[in-house]
Amino acid sequence: MASRPKATILDIAREAGVSKSTVSLVLQGSDLIRPETALKVRKAIEDVGYVYNRGAANLRKAHSNVIGMVINDLTNPFFAEMAVGMERVFQSAGIVPFIANTAENPVRQEEVLKSLMEQGVAGLIVSPARGTTPGAFRRIEMAGLPIVFTMRRLPESRIPVIAPDNHRGAWLATAHLIGKGHHRLAFFGGSSDLVVYHERLGGFREACEALGIAKRDTLVVEGETSRKGGIACLETAFAMAEPPTAALCFNDAVAFGVMLALRKRGLEPGADFAVVGFDDVIEAQHYMPALTSVAVDSAGLGERAAHVMLRMIQSRTTRAEDHIGAVNLVVRDSCGPHRRAGMGDAA
Amino acid sequence: MASRPKATILDIAREAGVSKSTVSLVLQGSDLIRPETALKVRKAIEDVGYVYNRGAANLRKAHSNVIGMVINDLTNPFFAEMAVGMERVFQSAGIVPFIANTAENPVRQEEVLKSLMEQGVAGLIVSPARGTTPGAFRRIEMAGLPIVFTMRRLPESRIPVIAPDNHRGAWLATAHLIGKGHHRLAFFGGSSDLVVYHERLGGFREACEALGIAKRDTLVVEGETSRKGGIACLETAFAMAEPPTAALCFNDAVAFGVMLALRKRGLEPGADFAVVGFDDVIEAQHYMPALTSVAVDSAGLGERAAHVMLRMIQSRTTRAEDHIGAVNLVVRDSCGPHRRAGMGDAA
DNA sequence: TTGATTTGTTGGAACGTTCCATTTAATAGA
DNA sequence: TCTATTAAATGGAACGTTCCAACAAATCAA
C-alpha cells in the first residue's frame, strides 16, 4: 500500500505498447482510435491504477470543468437546498460544483475565492457574506471569470443576480395580515446592512401605505436573523405602549423565535398574535402551529442560477440578465382566522 | 473587461524587470530576495492582475493544499454542522476544504470522488452514501491517498472511521426510557443496510435485555430516516395488538415525525407516549415539547476528523486509529415525568 | 503500377510553474 | 591586490497533459 510514484500517461503507453498520444486520444474518447487498440489501452489504464491529472491537462486546455459555489451559511437549510438545486443542473452538464462555506465572514470569503480561482474554476456562483466590500470581486471581474450572485445583491455592482422577489413577497404577506383585520403591524428581524432587508421592509411599508395603515401604527424592530433574534424582537415589541397584533418576520427562523416567545408569555400564535415568515423552509409546515410563510423556491433559484452560469460559460461572456424569482404566500395556521372586529383601535 | 490572455509569472517578470525565478521566489515568500526587489515584484503582480495557477505548480510539487469532503446529505443540518467543524480546523492549517454533495447516491459519489482525485486533492474525508459498494474506495486506497470516513462505516474496510458511540448512545436512551417506567418499547426508523443502524439497534437490544425487558415486549420498525418515516413507524406500531408506550428513534427527524403523528391522533408526546431522538440537532430544543435526544457533537467529530486527516497528510501515511466520540443524553420534555404504575402489563 | 486518399498512430512543442545548479555582485579576510 | 565567502538573482530542465503536423499502412482510382 506504499504510494509508488503516480502513474502517468506514459506508463500506460509503455504498458500498452502504444504512444502517449494514442493514450491521450483514448482518454478523450476519440473515435480516431481502432476499437481494439482502445481496449488494450483501457486495460493498461486499469492495470497501472492511473488517475487523470486534470491540472496538467488544464495547462493546455485552459478550460476546466469545475465551478465554485461560495455559500455564506451552509448550516441554513435554505442555502443548502439552493446548493442542491444547482448541483442537479451542473451534474447533467458534466461539470462538477465544489462548494465552499464562508460562514458570513468576508475575510474567509476572500480566501475561498482566491483558492477557487487558483484552482482554475470555470465560473463562480456566490451568495455574498454579510459585510462584503464592494471591491471584493474586482479581481475576479478583471480576470474575466463568469460570476453570478444568488439571493443577495451588492449595493453597486454590475454582477448579475438571481434572487427572489423580496419586495413582492413582503407585500403579499403584509396584505394578508391586513386582510385578516390587523391594524397594528410589525416587521421583525434583519439588519439594514443587507440589501435584502431593504427590499422586504420596502414591500412591507408600501403595502401598509397602500392599504391604509398609518405609519405610526407600524413598528420596525431590527434583530438577528435567528430564533434568538425573533424572541428579542417580540420582547421589544411587547414593551411598547400599544403593541402590534401581527408581525411579518424577516425570515422563518425569526418567526419561529417569535412563536416561541409568544408561548412563553402564554399567548397562542395565530389566535392571539399573527405571524408570517419568509423563505418557507421545510420545518415551516411541521411547526405547531404551521407557519404561514412566503415561499421562494430556493432549489428553483439554484437551478436558475446554474443555467445562467452555464450559458455565460458557453458564450464566453461575463454579462447576464438579473433574474427575479416568483414568490408565493403559503397560508397555514399561524395567522389564525379573520380577526374579530372591535378589538383594534380607530381606523 | 474582455478577457485578455491570462497573465503568467513571465509577464510579471517582464513588468518588474527580473527573472521568472525571482518572481516564483517572491510568490513563495522566500527570504532570499532583497525586500526592495520583492516590493517591485509585488507591484507588478497587482498591475498585471495575476492569478496564481495552482495546477501548474502542483505539476512540480505534487502536494496540493486542498482536501475534499464528500457529504452524503448536505440538507441534513447534522452533516452541515460537521462540515463547519472541519472547516474551522483546516482553515487554521492553511488548507482549503472543497465540499461535494452526493445526495445518498453511490453513482454520484463515484463521480465526485473521481473529480476530486483528478483535481489532485491531498486527502479525502467521506461520509459514505447509503448503498456504497465495498470496492468503491479501492482505487483511492491504491493511489495511496489519505482517506477517513465520518459518521458511517463500511462493512469490511480498513479505512479509519470517526463516528459517535452509537451503541452507547442507544443504550443510554433506552435505559432512560425504562427508568421512566416503560415496559413496551419500540425502535423506530432506519434501515438495516446501514452499519449505524445495527450499532444503534444493538444498543437498544442490549439495554432491554440487561434491564429485564422481554424480547416480545420490544418492537422494531424499519423506515425512512425522515419525518415521513417517523409518521409511518408510529402508524405501524399503533396497528399492533399491544402497542408500545415509548420509542427510541433512529434519528431526530424520525422523532419529529413520531411526535407529529401522535398529535394527529390526539395524543400528547411526553405525557401519553415517550419519544427520544438521536443526533440532537438544533431544532430539538425548540420543538414542542422539547425533544430528549442523544447528543453526538457533530461539530466536534468534524474537528476530530480534520485533525486526523492533517496528521495523516503530514506523516504521509494512510493508516490511522478509529475514533469513537463520546455521546450524552440530553433530557428534555418528550418523555414526560415518571410513568404511573399499574398501566403497563405484567413484568 | 502509380499516385491520391483514408485510417490509425506518433513525435514534439507548448502550457505555467518549481527548483537545482549556476552566475553575478557585493563584502570580507589576507 | 587577490581570493574566499556570502547574498541575490538567474537559466533551464522537468512535471503530465493536449494537439498539430507528420508519418506509415492500407485502400482506392486510374
pLDDT of A328: 95
| Nearest nucleotide over every DNA/RNA strand to the B11 CA, judged by C1' | C16
C-alpha A197/C-alpha A210 separation (Å) is 20
The CATH homologous superfamily for domain A166-296 is Response regulator (3.40.50.2300)
- Beta-strand runs (E) in chain A: 66-71, 96-101, 124-126, 147-150, 161-164, 185-188, 218-221, 246-249, 274-279, 292-295, 323-325, 328-330
Q: Check if CATH label 3.20.20.70 holds for domain B65-163+298-324.
A: no
pLDDT of A286: 81
Q: Do the domains A65-163+298-324 and A9-52 match in fold? A: no
Where are chain A's structural domains? 9-52, 65-163+298-324, 166-296
| Nearest nucleotide over every DNA/RNA strand to the B57 CA, judged by C1' | C17
DSSP letters for A88-117: HHHHHTT-EEEEEE-TT-HHHHHHHHHHHH
pLDDT tens sequence for chain A (347 residues): 445 678 999 999 999 999 999 999 999 999 999 999 999 999 999 999 999 999 999 999 878 899 999 999 888 878 888 988 999 999 889 898 999 999 999 999 999 999 999 999 999 999 999 999 989 999 999 889 999 999 999 988 999 999 999 999 999 999 999 999 999 999 999 999 899 999 999 999 999 999 999 999 999 999 999 899 999 999 999 999 999 999 999 999 999 999 999 999 999 999 999 999 999 988 898 888 899 999 999 999 999 999 999 999 989 899 999 999 999 999 999 998 766 544 433 33
SS3 category, B55: helix
Q: Which one-letter amino acid corresponds to residue A56?
A: A
C-alpha cell at A97: 460544483
- Give me the sheet containing A147-150, strands edge to edge: A323-325, A161-164, A147-150, A124-126, A66-71, A96-101, B96-101, B66-71, B124-126, B147-150, B161-164, B323-325
* A63 in contact with nucleic chain D (CB within 7 A): no
* A56 in contact with nucleic chain D (CB within 7 A): yes
State the CB neighbour count (10 A cutoff) for residue B186.
28
Helix (H) or strand (E) holding A210: helix A195-210
State the CB neighbour count (10 A cutoff) for residue A48.
18
What is the 3-class SS of B140-208, one letter each residue? HHHCCCCEEEECCCCCCCCCCEEEECHHHHHHHHHHHHHHCCCCCEEEECECCCCHHHHHHHHHHHHHH
Contact B167, B199 (CB under 8 A): yes
- The β-bridge partners of B126 are B70, B149
Nearest protein residue to nucleotide D9, judged by CA and C1' positions = B22
Do residue A118 and residue B51 have CB atoms under 8 angstroms apart? yes
Query: Which among B149, B95, B101, B148 has a CA at the least distance from the CA of B121?
Result: B95
Length in residues, chain A = 347
Which residues of A fall within a CB distance of 8 Å from B144?
A: 1-4
C-alpha B166/C-alpha B311 separation (Å) is 25
Cβ contacts of B285 within 8 Å, gap of 6 or more: B291, B330, B332
* A58 in contact with nucleic chain D (CB within 7 A): no
Residue B188 sits at φ, ψ, to 5 deg, of: -110, 135
Q: What share of chain B is helix, strand, coil (3-state, %, to 5)?
A: 45, 15, 40
pLDDT of B341: 47
Q: Check if CATH label 1.10.260.40 holds for domain B9-52.
A: yes
- A20 CA to C8 C1' distance (Å): 14
Which residues of B fall within a CB distance of 8 Å from A69?
A: none
For strand D, list residues 76-135 of chain B whose Cβ lies within 7 Å of it.
none
* B28 in contact with nucleic chain C (CB within 7 A): yes
Averages of pLDDT over each 10 residues, chain B, 347 residues: 74 96 96 95 95 94 89 84 90 90 93 94 95 91 93 91 98 98 97 94 98 97 94 97 97 94 94 96 86 96 97 92 97 83 40
pLDDT of A1: 45
| Nearest nucleotide over every DNA/RNA strand to the A19 CA, judged by C1' | C10
